[in-house]
Chains A and B, each alone.
Chain A
């Protein structure tokens, strides 16, 4: 579905994404990890077409991103920035239905069908009951679900989430991770999400990408990443692997 070939991007001379080559296929939950400043957000923005690669190529369905119209591509690939915040509070349903924007004509307002899609997306995120509520009346976890629904409202085939679990408490991290897994299984969409939490990522995802100083240092199954020597090398994390229920969990060495 999506392929990155030798993608390079730098901010005013400092290399943020260095020669990344990888690809994504259908129905995968992919965790994008790596230390702070390793290029995770930049990589997501490149795929979301927020940034344009300085070298290399991104190919979707066999066509370079340069050949995709912005609106057509937005119907296929949806991106959720780290802290989306509409300056002025809105109702959840209005937030979600705005995810239908790529389908809207220049002067068109959302149709009933668009609202149906928005409600379907809210239902997928267990957030139907929030439809009429305003964002500023919601908890952080509820807002995350509303914004996930917004991303789903366009029925994209690839979803990019920038640290969706950040600032969630532990039970919401669990709920949200389960939700992502369920959505991937139920709809066949591919979700790539940036995260710092290796244990959660390994437990729920099919695949883990590890960035290190702009380079894609590992692209492997969770089992291959969750090893003491690997995380020491990639994250500088001094951890003790503990095997339980057939998988490794990383416990910090103290």
Chain B
């Protein structure tokens, strides 16, 4: 009995992942087409400073924030809907954003600065609202209907995206495709600040309902009998995770696998409840996307490859090795 650990050792796990994230950020900001070092930047070299602080650091930080956001949204949806397959993509949030972005491209608005992110964000919010309304019946939000609505809307969004691309100007297509595959090219400090603030608000909100959310793991009836206001928790959780996902997608485009994969990875290493998983998923998602973005920049020098491909390339082998070990 005495060997049973009681209070979860959250501190150690957070420290470990935070350290890894810092290392990833340092690696990502040091590597790139131009050879510059942090030492040079700190000793006053203006070129080094411009590249590191003006370009690479905000990009690496934005990667960390996007990864953290997607993973946090993923673990929230999985916990809330009691479904290991739930993530921001399946629920249509990302699809809505992509749909908005592709319509903007087709309308020729993509060349105006700042338009794509705003319309993508609106698309994400619209998709969230639609999925939510479709799943709601008599004051009750049905998890299965939520997933089904997301799947069906995704099919619709794919159709709209294809049609939009078909009627888009040839010259706009390259940028649109790059956005669809996820890119952090051109990340700015204002993107970083905006997403950091939104993510902080979302995490505080989710922590506030954390004790209730983890009770949902045992089923809605069980949670209700334990004094949890289940509908309120679902509404708050769903809206919070969706809005912050919409914001992340609007600055990064579509980066796959993170929301689905990271919560499972973390859960395989630390099999604990939602309150414990929330901060760890944020850090884990950050590490994965920072590393994926780094690879997308340096694997070939001629161009940038899609980040979403590298989140899968990095995450899937790790996932499979944990899966083998755990069985």
Contact = CB atoms under 8 A, between A and B. Distances in A.
A106 to B, nearest CB: 6
A101 B211 CA distance: 8
Nearest to A98: B215
Interface stretch (A59-67, A109-117, A165-173, A237-245): A109-117
A71 interface: yes
Interface in A105-153: 106-110, 112, 115, 119, 128, 131-132, 134
Given A70-B227, A110-B7, A132-B4, A81 B222 contact: yes
Interface stretch (A83-91, A197-205, A209-217, A226-234): A83-91
Contacts of A104: 211
Interface in B1-58: 1, 3-4, 6-8
B303 to A, nearest CB: 40
A129 B273 CA distance: 22
Interface string B212-243: 00110111011011111100000000000000
Interface residues of B, number: 33
A78 interface: yes
A73 interface: yes
Given A71-B227, A87-B82, A101-B215, A94 B222 contact: no
B78 A87 contact: yes
Nearest to A133: B4
A38 to B, nearest CB: 19
B214 A87 contact: no
Contact of A84 (B83, B222, B228): B222
B271 interface: yes
A87 B225 contact: no
A89 B82 CA distance: 12
A70 to B, nearest CB: 4
Given A49-B224, A106-B208, A85 B219 contact: yes
Interface in B42-85: 78-79, 82-84
A70 B229 contact: yes
A30 interface: no
Contacts of B79: 87
B271 A49 contact: no
A50 interface: yes
A74 interface: yes
A81 B227 CA distance: 15
A77 B224 CA distance: 12
A93 B83 contact: no
Contacts of B211: 101, 104, 106-108
B215 A94 contact: no
B214 A98 contact: yes
Q: Is the interface of A mostly helix, strand, loop or mixed?
A: mixed
A87 to B, nearest CB: 4
A99 B222 CA distance: 10
Contacts of B83: 87
Contact of B225 (A49, A93, A94): A49
B226 A84 contact: no
Nearest to B84: A87
A193 interface: no
Most chain B CB within 10 A, of A74, A81, A87, A134, is at A87
B117 to A, nearest CB: 33
A176 interface: no
A90 B276 CA distance: 13
Contacts of A74: 225-227
B145 interface: no
Most chain B CB within 10 A, of A71, A91, A109, is at A109
Contact of B221 (A50, A71, A112): A50
A79 interface: yes
B272 interface: yes
Contacts of A88: 84, 217, 267, 271
Nearest to B272: A94
A108 B211 CA distance: 8
A48 B222 CA distance: 9
Nearest to B223: A101
B275 interface: yes
A131 B1 contact: yes
A91 B267 CA distance: 13
A37 interface: no
Contacts of B221: 45, 48, 50, 79, 81
B215 A81 contact: no
Contact of A109 (B8, B224, B229, B267): B8
Contacts of A131: 1, 4
Contact of B217 (A70, A87, A110, A115): A87
27 contacts: A45-B221, A50-B221, A50-B225, A69-B227, A70-B228, A74-B227, A78-B225, A80-B222, A81-B222, A81-B225, A84-B219, A84-B222, A85-B219, A90-B272, A91-B4, A98-B214, A98-B218, A98-B273, A99-B226, A101-B215, A102-B227, A107-B208, A112-B7, A115-B6, A128-B1, A132-B3, A134-B271
Interface of B: 1, 3-4, 6-8, 78-79, 82-84, 207-208, 210-211, 214-215, 217-219, 221-222, 224-229, 267, 271-273, 275
